[in-house]
Amino acid sequence: MNDSQRILAERIIAGLNLEDLKPADIDPQAPLFGEGLKLDSIDALELAVIVERNYGIRIPNMDVGKQAFASLAALDAFITSQPRSAPAAPRS
Amino acid sequence: MPRIIGCAVATPQGSLDATIHALRAAHGQPGELAGELIGLLHALSLEALAGLRPDLVVLATTKGDCDRWCTALLAEGGGLEGGPAWLARQLGERLAAPAFAVSSACASSPLAVGVAARWLLAGRAQRVLVVGGDRSGAFVRDGFSALRAIDPVGCRPFDADRVGLRLGEAAAALLLARDDDAGSGPFLQGWGASMDANHLTGPSRDGAGLALACTRALERASSGPPALIIAHGTGTRYNDDSESLAYARACPGVPLTALKGLIGHSLGACGLVELAIAQEFHRRGRCAGVVGLTRQGCAGAVEVLPPGSHDLAPGAILSANAGFGGLNGAVVIGDRPAPARAVARHECTTVVEIMPDCWMRRRAGGSPERTPWSEPGDGGALPRLGAREVTGSADASWGRMDLACRALVALGHLLGPLPRECALVLCSESGCAATDRLYELERRAGHADPQRFAYTLPSTPIGETSIRLKLQGPGLVLLGADEQQARQVAEDLLADCPAVVLAWVEADRPPHRAYAELWQVR
């Protein structure tokens, strides 16, 4: 796991309230949804919020989200590939 | 018995009729509106309710007067004004009758009607007034937007191009009488409810849960297939797909209509508004098709009635609703009274209680066993009730649950194995006040959080518990009910299901306790 993946993993764990989980527990190549982390569609919407707030990248719809959220590595690559606006203000 | 002897609908525009005209002006669907529906709504008026003397008032609502509730929650001292329990008490005082609220998300109305029907059949009342109402202010609007569930064009139930719902606002009232000869309105023939035990905000992909509620309602009515289905029809992709599969399974070949393209989604009140309209359809022998439908496109093979006026075959009407938490309810109205059904002999087999420092379980005939928590709660509050400590294993979505959800899930686990058909009845005064407060603070700061929004329903703990314990009986929350009323609601349910979990949870406020009883038919 590289640095940007680890930071992303920390943000996902905090944002989705994944209790009992540390960044090292997330296999960067494993699916985030269904098997793997077993996230569901409420988590997907929340993940879109996390990406927008932390990286200033808006996920226009969940079809884009589905591909971007395939795995931690895929999401990290998606974020790196996107042009950014300034991140939104952090959650108060 | 029971019989519908009066109904009324009111909206911010005054009558439902005025709402339809206002919506038409705002959203413009010229030529599509069903003349039949507009005409018949003149017949529904709040004046019909003047001078009523009900023996009980049951309020069907998801969140009550949400705007007032949030203002009270955020104020110094954090009161509970505006919430379902408070609103039910206000209604009770004005109508000089005992009152409580039933909250099962957007299926609140059919669940409340079921409670009222069983109450009448038990002989405790001659007349029960069911009132449905929800405010759909910024709290709700921003939440559904965060869930990406709003259709900017307008609600298009069962249409191939539908993308979401349109919020509406309404209050409705239905007066039910025990006597068969109390009027000429249709009979309440059947009622049924279920839990999907599948997903918190998404409907089950195969519609099995809603099909179960419809089948139970039709079995209760024992009058064969209905002549018409009034679907929930929110216009979201998943809901309408799931619903169409449910009807294809539970009552194949029956034509269906949906009303939210015309009147919007009035949340917990929607089922009661739809029942008021259903009884007018029944009386006139005509019904309205689906406003907003251009080209049908849904997963299940169903006959969706196009916009316009249609003849109605003789027979009953099934009206169904589905809500967050996978809570479903259905009601059948028609010409024949519901057959009586006695409550079987039953007993309380297990009691569990969660306290800040330990949990206790007592089985019938046994003495209480107590188990201390590994880390007791601070200052009299409940501990965090972690997944491993409660269930013995990790759980990916446990962390997002608020304390009230965890408490009810924990009670369910600690009760031991529960039959799949078990009903869940949760009693509370404050509901999900703590989560509502957090969501509202974030929302006012410009960040309505989709995940948090899913937990701002008093019935979310029911959904979480049914999903984890795979329970598919009826699920409802009672707010503002006293202990005796709650026990009567639970006991009545044993006429329709083999077991009921009756729970009281105040996780975030004193007394910081959660308690549950398991009642089973012998």
E runs forming strands in B439-512: 475-479, 499-506
Query: Residue A16: its chain B contacts at CB < 8 A?
Result: 399-400, 451
| pLDDT at site B9 | 78
The yes-or-no verdict on residue B109 having pLDDT over 50 is: yes
Q: What is the mean pLDDT of residues B344-359?
A: 96
Q: What is the mean pLDDT of residues A65-82?
A: 91
Nearest residue to B199 (alpha-carbon basis) of B36, B325, B56? B325
Contacts of B309 (CB under 8 A, 6+ apart): B34, B35, B36, B286, B287, B288, B289
User: At residue B321, what are phi and psi to the nearest 5 degrees?
Assistant: -140, 150
Confidence tier at B203 by pLDDT (50, 70, 90): confident
Task: State which residue of chain B sits closest to A60, comparing Cα positions.
Answer: B148
Q: What is the mean pLDDT of residues B99-116?
A: 98
The yes-or-no verdict on residue B353 having pLDDT over 50 is: yes
> Cβ(B226)–Cβ(B251) under 8 Å?
yes
| pLDDT at site A92 | 44
Higher pLDDT, A35 or B98: B98
* Range scoring the smallest mean pLDDT among B131-145, B368-382, B498-512: B131-145
Helix B433-444 to helix B138-146 angle (10° resolution) is: 80
The yes-or-no verdict on residue A3 having pLDDT over 50 is: yes
Best mutation target among A26, A42, A46, A61 (most B Cβ atoms within 10 Å) is A42
CA distances (Å), B421 to each of B404, B457, B497, in order? 23, 23, 6
* Closest CA–CA distance from residue B434 to any residue of chain A (Å): 16
| pLDDT at site B302 | 97
d(CA B374, CA B26): 58
Q: What is the mean pLDDT of residues B354-382?
A: 94
Q: Which two tokens stand for residue B379?
A: 């200052």
Query: Residue A18: its chain B contacts at CB < 8 A?
Result: 396, 399
The yes-or-no verdict on residue B35 having pLDDT over 60 is: no
3-state secondary structure of A74: helix
The answer to whether the Cα torsion of B225, B231, B237, B242 is positive or negative is: negative
> Cβ(B459)–Cβ(B153) under 8 Å?
no
Give residue-wise pLDDT tens across range B8-27.
777 666 666 665 655 555 44
- Respond yes or no: is residue B310 known to be catalytic: no
Give residue-wise pLDDT tens across range B132-151.
888 878 999 999 999 889 98
d(CA B354, CA B316): 46
| pLDDT at site B22 | 56
Task: State which residue of chain A sits closest to B386, comparing Cα positions.
Answer: A19
| pLDDT at site B219 | 96
| pLDDT at site B45 | 42
* Closest CA–CA distance from residue B118 to any residue of chain A (Å): 35
- Respond yes or no: is residue B265 known to be catalytic: yes
State how beta strands B228-231 and B255-258 pair: parallel
d(CA B169, CA B7): 17
Give residue-wise pLDDT tens across range B145-175.
998 899 888 899 999 999 999 988 888 888 8
Instruction: State the CB neighbour count (10 A cutoff) for residue B342.
Output: 9
Q: What is the mean pLDDT of residues B185-204?
A: 91
| pLDDT at site B33 | 36
When CB atoms are compared, the residue of A42, A49, A89 closest to B200 is: A42
Interchain pair A46, B450: CB under 8 A? yes
Confidence tier at B369 by pLDDT (50, 70, 90): very high
Query: Residue B147: its chain A contacts at CB < 8 A?
Result: 45
| pLDDT at site B358 | 95
CA distances (Å), B48 to each of B6, B8, B11, B172, in order? 7, 7, 15, 12
| pLDDT at site B29 | 41
Give residue-wise pLDDT tens across range B36-71.
444 333 344 444 554 677 899 999 999 988 888 999
| pLDDT at site B30 | 31
Query: Residue B442: its chain A contacts at CB < 8 A?
Result: 91-92
Q: Which residue in this structure is represented by tokens 């039709």?
A: B218
* Range scoring the smallest mean pLDDT among B8-22, B227-241, B257-271, B286-300: B8-22
Q: Considering chain B, what is the average pLDDT of its residues?
A: 89
Task: Please name the amino acid found at residue B424.
Answer: L
Yes or no: is domain A3-81 CATH 1.10.1200.10? yes
Best mutation target among A20, A52, A53 (most B Cβ atoms within 10 Å) is A20
| pLDDT at site B342 | 87
The yes-or-no verdict on residue B201 having pLDDT over 90 is: no
| pLDDT at site A87 | 59
| pLDDT at site B14 | 62
Confidence tier at B394 by pLDDT (50, 70, 90): confident
Q: Which two tokens stand for residue B434?
A: 């703590």
% of chain B at pLDDT higher than 70: 91
Interface residue ranges in chain B relative to chain A, Cβ cutoff 8 Å: 146-148, 199-202, 386-388, 394, 396-400, 441-442, 445-447, 449-451, 454
| pLDDT at site B34 | 38
Higher pLDDT, B407 or A88: B407
Q: How does B225-235 read in b/e, with b if 16+ C-beta sit within 10 Å?
A: ebbbbbbbbbb
When CB atoms are compared, the residue of B146, B201, B445 closest to A92 is: B445
| pLDDT at site B73 | 92
Put simply, whether A60 touches B (Cβ < 8 Å) is no
Interchain pair B386, A19: CB under 8 A? yes
Helix B403-415 to helix B460-469 angle (10° resolution) is: 40
d(CA B203, CA B213): 13
Burial class (CB in 10 A: 0-12, 13-18, 19+), B336: middle
Higher pLDDT, B474 or B338: B474
- Respond yes or no: is residue B447 known to be catalytic: no
DSSP B359-373: EEEEETTSPPEEEE-
Contacts of B483 (CB under 8 A, 6+ apart): none
Q: What is the mean pLDDT of residues A67-82?
A: 92
Burial class (CB in 10 A: 0-12, 13-18, 19+), A76: buried
The yes-or-no verdict on residue B210 having pLDDT over 90 is: yes
Interchain pair A49, B146: CB under 8 A? yes
| pLDDT at site B41 | 39
| pLDDT at site A85 | 66
Query: Residue A42: its chain B contacts at CB < 8 A?
Result: 200-201, 397, 400, 450-451, 454
Domains of chain B from N-terminus onward: 3-334 (3.40.47.10), 346-521 (3.40.47.10)
Query: Residue B74: its chain A contacts at CB < 8 A?
Result: none
Q: Which two tokens stand for residue B36?
A: 């039949």
Which residues 3-32 on chain A approach chain B with CB closer than 8 angstroms? 16-20
